Each structure stands twice: as structure tokens, then as C-alpha cells.
Structure 1
Amino acid sequence: MAVSYHLLLLPAVLLLLVLPLASSSSAAGDHAALLALKGAVTGDPASVLSAWSSSDPDHCHWRGVTCHPASSAVAAIDLPAASLSGALPALLPPRLLRLDLSGNNFSGPIPAAFLASPTLRALNLTSNRLSGPIPFPPSSNSSSSSPPCPALAHLRLAGNFLVGEIPSAVAQCRSLRVIDVSRNVLEGAVPRALGRLAALRVLDVSRNSLTDRIPPELGNCRDLAVLVLTNLTSSPGDQPEFNAFLGGLPPEVVTNPALEILWAPRANFDGRLPRYRNGSCRLRAVNLGQNYIGGPVPKWLGECGDLAFLDLSSNSLEGSMPAELRIGCMRYLNVSQNLLSGPLLSPVEGKCSSPLIDDDDVIQYYEGLVGIALISNPFGSVLGDIGNAALHDFSNNGFSGVLPSLNLHLVGNYSYGLLLNGNMFNSTLSGGFFRFCKAASGVAVNLSGNQLSGSLDMLSSCTSLQSFEAGYNKFNGSISPGIGDLHLLRVLVLRANNLSGEIPVRFGDLAALEVLDLSKNSVAGILPSHLADASRLKVVMLDHNRLSGSIPPSFSELAQLSVFDVSFNNLSGDIPYLRHSADCGFFVGNPLLSRCLGPNASAPPSVSTDHQKWTQRLGGHMTKSKYLVVIIAASATALVSFVVAVLIFFVCERRKRAKIENFKKKMVVTFADAPAEINYDSIIQATSNFSIQNLIGTGGFGATYKAELAPGYLVAVKRLAMGRFQGLQQFDAEIATLGRIRHKNLVTLIGYHIGESDTFLIYNYLPGGNLESFIHEMGSRQVSWAEVYTIAMDVAQALAFLHGSCTPRIIHRDIKPSNILLDEDLNAYLSDFGLARLMEVTQTHATTDVAGTFGYVAPEYATTCRVSDKSDVYSFGVVLLELMSGKRSLDPSFSQFGDGFMIVSWGRMLMQEERTSEFFSPGLWDTSPKDRLTEMLKIAISCTSESLAVRLSMRQVAARLKQLRNEH
């Protein structure tokens, strides 16, 4: 019995002996893994890892290391922003739960062990210099095999140089809650397999080079709260946004009941937003600005009680604004630059719900995205505290009727900006319009460019008003002196109305006033000297009125005054000294004013006083004859002054307007060095003011002129046929992107100019003409295989670059022979790339005629009105068929085959009937390698397939053409 008892105790004793050995082995593994990490570090300027030593066995006390309770097993390594550099080791502590190496300078690939750990829950490698693909193992089809990353919940790899595609195998990590792979160089599509991640809360794929359609399977992620597909808000050093998706947003994704943040500005989306949705709505922030989305604004957005940020600007939305929207509860609403119309009804009233966000990841994205977006508030410099501002932007649509009566229900102390400019409102300014002034600590309003009328007396009721712009309307009557009570007012723009009366003396009480623009009205009376008591004035524009009397010398005391325009009035007397440069154009049109001697030439007050004393002293000793001589001389001087003033008007008017409007209308922005100076005047002179004698081509975007800026230095100037712009800032951003694009087969954009009368782009000049002329002349000259191949290869490489390697990637949308230019050696260069996008985003209303030229447009556009990179492929195929045959896409010879028959149908017919030799231009078949010609024809036919799936990509086209060159 005793022996049995001891035998029973033996396993327990052995277990007690083995456990310390196992623990010791585990500790040794942790110790080795930590030292492996230190050994991989090649730079540690702050000596963060100095205490990590093989001589110290207690690694649980090392900096950045956390161990499991009652154990020496490493649970976490936290070394963010430690300035560490080097490679990442392949070895991890066996029971590691969290690894945070964000904000360092680690480089090289991510070890596969990091994403195959059975225990790791959080991996944060954000903002390093890591490269290579994301190292997930291939997906396993075996149901019995365990996933390689069963515990991984947080995967943060943003801000590196990772390449390749987002692996579908990431869906094997079934516990994933956060995937952030933004700010990398990833390509391809968003994997459909991500729809299997039931626990996914955050997906951020912005700032990559992704394309294709957004998979509707993402709608299966029923906990998905944050979806960031593109992101235009950035910090210095951030990678630009290059994602450009195809098609529209799947309704399953948009109406996901868990979704709180949907962020996809300038993502290339088209289609429409879902008209209906079922179930609850938790949306807080939606940014779909700068896309191609059409249709109405969905009414169901009014059911989203938490919606505080909505940006649908710069799309093609139409119809009326839903009254169901809780505008008064929104901190940011932007529907500008659309096709919306009808009355802007007062929104529904109701209490705003503002439940707290209980998810740290959602809070982080909401505060980051929304906070940075508010910084771009157009009233930022006026309202001051942007962090607590609200903005509602309805500008540049077709809204009409009475001005809306908006009542805000936001909580806390905030400033408010309201933009209604560029519409067709035709009411008066009633007291109800300013209801929002009661709740806001500061208010900025823009009503410019409407058809508003009546008086401005109600302005004084908004005591929190800081900026009021209402130019180009029909307001009339005198300016209310009550405006002098608006002590917060910094900007007042009332130009181009029908205002009369005098300038209120009380304007001098506006201590905060910086900009005063009353130009182009019928304001009369004197210029009150008390106005100069508004000591912060920087811009005063009173031109084109009926002011009389002298210019008070008190304006010389305004230290910040940089623009003081009183031209075209009835002013008289001396021009006072101004502390900043005064353009003589600011004073023309006042015949009784003294002569303007140019910037800074007017004498300071002390000199004027001395001059007055001198003339008084001299006058006491004058004889009558001398006095007569002085009178005659003075009269002659006055006459000369008048003539000079008239001359100054013609010489200075253009320059004066440039300074006043701050548009720098004569400035030419250049992207490359040139052997001659390039400016507005040199372009006008070199094109003979865009004379028809200099015209070398016309197209859908405008006319092109040849200009010789210096002996032997020729450029091509494309004068754009553009309508009203959305804004200079967006034009500059778009064209600056095009200016950085360089490829050996793209026409180089040298510079540009934008103005009210002229907008043009400057390209390098190519003397070989265009491919359209080349094809037209093929019937009268022998064309070689080498010439055809070189042109085809050059264009294919240019398009492959635009679609796949260019940043951002560009869909041309108008590939045709006239947009392919040639040099003397018949090298080909693609032109007009990026202009379709540029024209759409920089005009008030998106155009619909930029999807190509008839005969070259892909068939899917006729049914879906959608363009993609495959649309360019189709157009390229048509051009290639023309190049080989010498016939045009819609050649008259095709009429014998019936209506709708074109070169694509002809080429396909000859291929099927094995009459390939009949397709090629005279002499080309007989003098060229027939197998290569036949293969090139097959490539062209593949490019023009009606099936998008069958149609090649331009990268594949370029690769197949390259094979033709290598074949012997």
C-alpha cells in the first residue's frame, strides 16, 4: 500500500521538477528574442536599448518591456518614437501579445514570423521605412488547418513603403478588428475576402495606388465602423493620395448599419448613392467630395441622427436639398459645386443627438479626419478658433427663391460660417435669415453672386458678425450706420450692388475691420476722415463710385493699409503719403486729383507741411507779372497732369486690377527651366495674340498655337476653352500635379497661366505633327514596320505609365490620333493627359463631354456612362488599327457594310475570314515581318473587345508589344 502511494506521487514530483525547467527555457527564449531585436538595431541615438544586456537576466525591467503577471514571459514590447533604425528580427518572444515599434526608422521587409504568431494580438509598425510585400502566407483551403494568426486583432502597417497587393490571406486572421495599411505603395484591389472578417471595426487603405471596384462583400462586416478609402488631409511628408477606384460605392457598404465614418474624397467614384436604406443609421462623418457621383441627395441621410460631418462637394448631384436633413445639428455640411436646384427649405427642427463615442479607434479617426478637415475652413483666417467652428457650404449650385432660415442647435461656444454664394437666390435680407447669429460667438457669411435685393439694414442685428460678403447682387439704398455697432466685423464686401448714400462715419468705430470693399456702387459724399480710425484696415476698395472732396491725410497713419483704391470717383486735392506702395492705378479716373508719381513717391505729411509753408513765404514777395507766370505754369502743369492721368489709366489699369484682386493675372507658373523667359506678355507676343496664323490644332479642350519665345526655342500653347472655375486653389493643385509628371513618351508640360480672359498651358513643341496627319498621308508614302512599331510601342508605354506607375494614376479619356504628337524621328508623345479631370474639377458644373471622341469611345460608355483605364485601352486599340491600315475609324469605305460598321468590325471580320493581309496599308504587308504584323493586329483586336474581362490592360499590351521586338 505504501509503495502504491509513492507511485501515485511520482508524476506530481516529476511535474514540479519539469515546470521550472520549462519556465527557464521560456525565459531564455524571451531573453534571446529581445537581444536579437537589439542586435538588429543599427542606430540608437537616444540609447534607448542601452540597458538591454545579456549580463542582466531580469529582462522584465528593461525599457519598453512588459512581462506577464507572475512570470518572466514577455507580454509586450513598446518602443514607439524611439529613433531606432535597422532591420526587424525574425525572432519574437513566444508569448508576446503586443509589439509597438511605430515612429522609428526600421527598414527592410516585415518578417513572416510577425504575422504568423499564435499569440500576438496587436502589431504596430506605423511610420517606419519598411518595404517589400505584406508577408501573409497563402490562403489555406483546408478546414482543419489552424489560422496562422488566431489572436491578431490590431494590424497597423501605415506609413511605410510596402508594395504589392493587400493579400487575401489577411482574412485568415479572423480576430482582426483594425487594419490600417494606409500611406504605402500598395496596388491592386481591396480583397473580397475581407468581407469574412466578422469582427472588423476599422479598415483604412488610403494613400496607396489601389484600383478596381470596392467589393460589396465589405457589407458583410456587420461591425465595420470606420472605412477610409482615400484621404486628402495630410501632414508634411505624407504620401499623396493615388487611389482611384472604379464604379460606384456598393449600396451594401454605404448602408451598413454599423458604419460611423465613411471617408472617400476624390476616389474616382461614380454612380449614385443608395436611394433607400433599411434599419438604423449610425453615420457620424461622410466625406465623398470631389467624385463623379450623380443623382439626388438621399433623404435617408436625415435619419442619421448622429451625422455631424457631410461633404458631398464637387460631384454631379442634382435635384433639391432634402428638407429631412438635420442641418442645424451638423458641424460641417458641404454640398458646393454640384447641380442642386430649387428652394433651400428651412430644415426640420428637433433636438440634436450627440451620444458619446465609446470606441477609442473610432474616436481617433473622427477627431483626426474631421478636425483636420475643419482647418481648411475658408473662413479660417476670419473666424479664428477653427477647432470649434461650424461650416455650411451651399455655394455654386442653382438654389433659388428666398434665403433659408437656419437655426443652429450645436452645443458649446463655436464660430459659424455660411456660404450661399454662386446661386440664384432672389429675395431680400430678412431678420429671420440671421437666426443663427444668436447661438454663434462669431459669424462669417458669403452671399455673393446671387440676385438679392432690398436694404442691408438687418445686418446690424447680427452682433457676432465677423465677415459679410454680398458682392454682385442688387442691394440698394444707403448703407446703414448701424453697421458701426458690429465691433467684431473684420471683412465687409458689398461691391457691385446698387448702393447709394454716403459712407457712414461710424465705420471708423469698427476697430476690427481689415477689409472694406464698397466698389462699383453709387456711393457719394466725402471720404470721412474718421474711417481711418479703423486702424487695422488692410484693404480699402472704394473705386467706381461718386465720392467727392479730398482724401483725408489721416489715411497715411494706417500702418497695415496695402490696398487703397479710390479710382473713378470725383476726388480732388493731393494724394496723401501711404506707408505701403500705392499703385497709381488706384487713383486714376479722378481728374481733379494731383499727379501720381508712382509707388512711394507721394510725400509724407511733414514734407507736405514744409512745402505749404514755403509757398506761403514765397507768395508774399511775388510781383503781379511773376504771379501771372506762376498761374500760367500751374495751369499748364494741371493740363499735363490730366494728360498723364489719362495715360496712366491705360498703362496701369491691368496691373492695378491684378494687385486688387490678388489673382496675379499675368503670372505664368513654370515647372521646368527654359532657355528663354516665359511670361504672359512673351506668350501673347509670340502667338501674335493667339492669331490664326499661329494656330496648329484644335480640340475639345481648346486651340493650340505655336510660339517662338527665343530664336530656335518653340513651345506649343494650348488655350483652354474653360467656363467658370470652382477656384484657383483647386486648379493650381490639379495642374501642379500634371506639371510634375515626366515620361519619355509624354508631352512635357512646361507651365501654365490662369486668368479671367485667358487660361493656357505651355508644352514643349514637337515638329513632326500629329499621328492623324501621319495616318492620312500613309496612302501617298511607304510606311515601314519599324515606324509603325515605334509609334505603337511609344504610345503603349505612355499609357501604361499613366495607368500604373504615374502618381497619381491618370485615365486619359480621349485617346485619338490627333492627341499623339511626333518628333522628326517619328517618336510618339501622348498629349492632353489629365485635361479631362482638370476641366471637370475646375469648372462650376461638371461637364459630360470629356469621355472621348466618337469612333474611339469604348462601347460600355454608351450604356453606363462610365470610363476606366480599360476605356483608354479600347481607344488605343482603335488607334493601333488605324496606324496599321491607314484607314480612319469611321472610314467612308466601311459604308458598304452597313450602318455602325467601323474599323474594329472590319479588322475582326478580316481576321475571322483569314484575309489578314487585306487589312494593312499598301506595301506594309509586303515589306514587313508578317508574323509580327499579324500578332500586332491580334493585340489591337484584343484591346477592342467588348468584354472588359477579355480586354487587355495597357501593361499587358506594352509587354506583348515588347515581345514582338525581341522576336527574331
Structure 2
Amino acid sequence: MFMENKFCPFQIMHGFNNLFMFMYALLFVQLLALTYQPVLGQQGDGVVVTKSDYQALRAFKRELIDFNGVLRSWNDSGYGACSGGWAGIKCVKGQVIAIQLPWKRLGGRISEKIGQLQALRKLSLHDNVLAGPVPWSLGFLRNLRGVYLFHNRLSGSIPPSIGNCPLLQTLDLSNNSLTGTIPSSLANSTKLFRLNLSFNSLSGTIPPSLTKSPSLTILALQHNNLSGSVPSTWGTGAGNRSYLLAILTLDHNLISGTIPSSLSKLGFLEEISVNNNQITGTIPNELGGLTRLQKLDLSNNAINGSFPSSFSNLSSLVSLNLEGNRLDNHIPEGLDRLQNLSVLNLRKNNFSGHIPASIGNISGIYQVDLSENKFSGEIPASLGSLANLTSFNVSHNNLSGPVPSLLSKKFNSSSFVGNLQLCGYSTSTPCSSPPPQILPSPPTRPLKKKHHHKLSTKDIILIAAGALLAVLLLLCCILLVCLVRKRSASKGKNDKTVKQAAAGSTDKAAPATTGVEYGGEAGGKLVHFDGPFVFTADDLLCATAEIMGKSTYGTAYKATLEEGNQVAVKRLREKTTKGQKEFETEAAALGKIRHPNLLALRAYYLGPKGEKLLVFDYMPNGSLASFLHARGPETIIDWPTRMNIAIGVTRGLCHLHNQENIIHGNLTSSNILLDEQTNGHIADFGLSRLMTAAANTNVIATAGTLGYNAPELSKAKKSTTKTDVYSLGVIILELLTGKSPGEPMNGMDLPQWVASIVKEEWTNEVFDLELMRDVPTIGDVLLNTLKLSLHCVDPSPAARPEAQQVLHQLEEIQQPEANVGSAEEGTEEVPPPSTTD
């Protein structure tokens, strides 16, 4: 008992020690589990990443070069990887479903360990500087749906294993340095609808297996080294399948052979582009059955034969380019059935015969190039009535006769040179006046010996009548010319002068800002505001004039005054303006508005018969619309120039909204004018105050057809500051994309088209190709400007910013050092309108 009692305290202590050690060990295990919980992968809470995915992400990071520190958030513990703490990672139930790190300046290479992310649906690493091969292990990802690796420096060949991804919908490897052939196994991905391998160095032929895919909607293989012929097996897969291919771009390759007629089986085709290849043969007449086709570009090949008559059935066609081929024969007259046609380019072929007058019935066409062919005869007068025509060229043909006056005044001599018998298009090629029509004398009879022939009374009467008729015809011509010129002066028609009007005071005293009135004998009234020079009513009306364009407000002219100074004159449409007293009050208010980005109203003239002329500063670089869309391929517009225009226009709009309390209501690229330094000046502001309510409604409707109107205007019919901001957003999109808002884009307007491209992660397809060369240095700027413009065109007016906010953000984008705090945010991907897996 003693012994037991003696050792009892020790035994009790020993028991406590065991208990303590047990509790300590348990605590240690719990702490260890807590510390390594992310790696252990407790699933179900959507926050903790699984062990295998964590290891794959760590391996993925190790092979990248993080120039901007974007991956600093990828900590060593894995904590927060699935709760938004790790940049670019999205998870479901602890498994990574998306890696989205575009525009982050990531270098290095893509680890093959990415194949361990078994739940991965989306891999978006576009617009970085990644090198190395495309991982072969992507073929292990059975859930993969979208691969976006465009605009990197990837090399090597395309892994055939990618065809093992049964759910793959989009594969975009464009703008890399990939070589080798296109794997035919890609067609095994039966849900693949977008395949873009353009701008690489791929060789070999186009796999025929791709032509049988029932899901493929976009196939972009342009700018490679592909050879062989265009496959002839389109739409020949087994079963009664519906082939959905809408866009086929194979241009700038080494493709030869002929154009297959089997393309006509693809009833959903909207675009075919095979230009700059080595294609021969004729154009299949069957292509005329593609009623949804909007763009057909077969230029710069060696195609021969005739212009297919079936092309008159292409009712949806917007752009037809057959330049640089060997096509010949006549052009069919049925072209006027192509009422959606905007661009017709038949340059550098062997077409002959007359230019079809039916082209003049295509009201929306704005570009016609028929140069360097063998067309003969006169230029149809109907072409002069094309109000939207901004680019026209018929040079170097066999044309003859006078150029229609409206064409010769709208386009310079380069559009007509090289036609030896063509006249009237410049001062050096005048058309000669027709000679007097004198009736011929009776045939001379041989003189009889010793007898002289005497004219009979009938002969004398005929000769006298002929001479009198010739004189009368000459007098009628002179009188007709005088009447036309006089009528042109009073009606404001486009002629050689703004026109001889009221002879008035020759006083040229300096005008005041409040307006100085100059009267005239004919009852006209000229009111001056401040300006760089002054002129009288006679100076204005006798100035040489050249039509610049027409709008719903009226016709604009470039007027050159006697001393060589130039002004812009807008003749307002008759019966659309308010009464004279109210008109003068509003015009006086507009004449006081001055801002560097607003077109200044310098004077107005009221004619004796109610005509109204507004005089503005002349802008030598024309409108932004023509600057962007009517230039030659050799003219490049860089981003600083475009950004400067966007900021200038926004500053002008801010001034109108905040300082003048004016809503523009008709802001389009056509009424943004550019000076010598390509600074933007908003025109037509405040003109709504001069017009009747009916005229202003017509202005809103016209802007809507061009694609600049906010959606709410279809019902409200009343412009607001938010509808102006919407129009501004469209113009910024126009600067970013280089596309005209009036150009149909798969049935969508420009904002809808951009939003759809962004949603599908094809952001690089949005920007004008001219800007893509500078993406490595201005990628963030383009992306942030795109985000801002989409904000401006939000369908909800309340969601749009004010013009002042747009200006502030544009200035921050232009000078990023002023917004250092948001630099990381500025490199994020453009969020699409809605997201889908």
C-alpha cells in the first residue's frame, strides 16, 4: 500500500502527461489541417481549390514571366484561389473552370500541367507575349469549351490532340507564329463553331474534314502559307445536316485552283474572302443563290470569264470586290436589284462595253471603282444622282463625252484621267461647244460652157432659213445658259458661283460680335459676326462654289471668295425653317458661340425670295466620315490622331451641354469636320433651333438610319444629353473599329456588333487592323477606350455617363500617369454584356 501510495502522485502525473500529449497532438493535427486546408481540397464551399488544381496552377505560374506583377495574388498557401483572391481564376466546387488573363503582358510559356485542370472550360490568355508551343495536354480537357490564345508569340505546330475535346466551341490561335499543317482532327470537335488560325505561318492544304462540319460557323484561315485548292466538298457530310458556315476567310495565302461551286450549298454564308491568292478559272454561276451573302471578295487572283448574271440575285450583298483579275465582257444591267450594295470594286480587269446606267439606281452605294478596264461610251448621267457617293473612279478606260457635272464637281481629275475622249472634268479638259448647224448647200454641178448657174428662189430661201435657224439656236443656247446661271443663284444649286445676287454696299468695315448688317439692291440681308475676314453680299454670292454634301438641313458648299479666302456655306432647305424674326433671333445667339471644337457661325444671309444661307469656317480635311471611310489604302490614321479627334469632339459636346444648354440631336461623323491639324469641330449644332418641328423630326429619323440614334429615340422622338452621349459613343466606336455605323453587320448595328464580339472574347477582331500593329504599346489604351464607348452606348439612358465624365475618362486614358491608382484595373478584359460558360 505504501509503495502504491508512494508512487500514486507519479502515476497520476504520468496520466496527465499522456492526456496533455494527446491533446497537443490533436491540436497540432487540427492546426496542420487548417494551414493546409486549401491543398487538402475540402470541396463544396466554392472557395477552396482542390489539391490537384492547386498544384497545376502553381506549375502554370512557374513557367510564366509576370512583367506587371499580375500574379502576385497567387499566394503559396492557395488561400482565396476560388474566392476571387487569385487574379483571373474562376472555380466551381473547388475546381478551376476558367483562367482569364488577357492583356496582362505575361511572357514565358504555357505549362503542360494545364492538362491537370480537368474541369477547365475556358482558357483566355490572348494579347500577351507568350512563347513556346500550344500545350498538347489541352486535348485531355474533356470540358474545354473556349481557347483564346490569339495575339501572342506562340510557335510550333497545332496539337492534333485538341480534336479530342468534345465540347470545344471556339479555338482562336490567330496572330502567332505557328507553323506546320492544320490538323484534320479538329473536325472531331463536333460542337466547334469558331475556328480562327489566321495570321500565322501555317502551310499545307485545308483539311476537307472541316468542310463537312455541321457546327462550324466561322472559319478564318487568312494570312498564312496555305496551298492547294479550295476544297470542293462543302456541305457533303452524311445525313441531312444544316450547314451553318457564315464567314469563310482564306485571303492572303498561296491557294490555287478554281472556286468550287459546292460553296452554293452553304445557305447561311454571309462573307467569302479569298483575295490575294492564285485562283484561276471562272466564277461559278451557282454563287448567285447565296441570298444571305453580304461580302464577296475575290480580288487579286487570276480569275477569268464574265461577270455572272446570277449576281443580280444577291439581294443582301453589301460589298463586291473583283479587283485585279482577268474578267472581261459586259456588265449585266440587273445590278440595280442589289439595293444593299455599298461598295463596288471592279478595278484592273478587262471589262468592256458601256457602264451600266442601273448603278445610278443603287441609292446607298458610296464607293464605285471601275478604273483600269476597257469601258467605252459616256459616263451615265444617273451616277451623278448618287447622294451618298464618296469615292468614284473611272480612270484609264476608253470613255468619251462630257463628265456629268455633279460628278466633276464632287471628284477631282484623278477619278477621270486616262480617258482620251473624256472632257469636262478639269479646266484643262473643256468640252467644245457644238458647231452651228448650217444646212448643206445643194451639190455642185459641173459648169456648162458659157453658162453660169443661178440660185433659184427656193435655194435662196433654204439657205437663208438654215442660217437664221443656226443663229436662233446659238442665241437660245446663250439665253439658256444665262437663265440656268441666274436660276442657280436664286435656288442655291451647285454651280460655278454661290451666285449673282443683290448688288449692295461695298463698305467693308470690320464687323462686331453682335452682328453687322450688309444690305443689297435686291433686298437681301447679310449679317456678320466676328471672323478672320469680312465680305459683302456680292462677294459671297459671286464666289466660286463647289458642292461638299447634302444633309437633311440643306446643301453645303465650299465657296472661294474673290480674294482667295474660303468659307463653307450651308443653304437651308426651303420651307423647313422658322419665320424670319424668330430665325434671326436664334441665328444671332448661335453666332456668339465660340469654342475650339465647335464650327463657328460667321455670318448669315437672307435672300429676297426667302432663301437662307449660313456661313461657317471652311475645314480643309472634310468630315470625319470621309476621313475614315473614303481614304485610299495608302493613308494610315494612327491612334494618337483618332484619340485627339475623340477628345476634341467630347470637349465641344461638353461645352454645348454645360455652357450653352444646347442638345445637338444629330451628332454623326458626317458633321464632325477636321481642320489642317485634324482637330475635330462639331458642325450643325443648334440648327434645330432654326428649323420647324417637322424638319427636326426628319433629322432624327435620318440619323437613326445611319446608326447614331439612341434606342429610346424610336419612341420618344426627343433628343437629350444622354442621346447625344450615345451618338458620341458610336463615333468613338467608329474611330476604334474603322467601320461605318451605317454598314450592315450580320443584321446588327455597330454597338450590337462590338458587344457580340467582346462577349465571345474576340476583342482583337473589334479594332481597326491599322491599330493592331501598335497593340503591344497601346493595348491598354484601346481596351479602356472600348470599355468607355460601350458605357456610352448602354441601352439604358440612365446608365450612360454625362459628356463631362466621358471627357474626364478619355483624358485619363490618354495620360495614364494621371490615374495610377486604377492602372491594374485598366488592363482587365472588356466585360461582355452578359456572361456564359
TM-score category of the 2 structures, normalised to the smaller one: 0.3 to 0.5
TM-score (norm 2): 0.44
TM-score (norm 1): 0.38
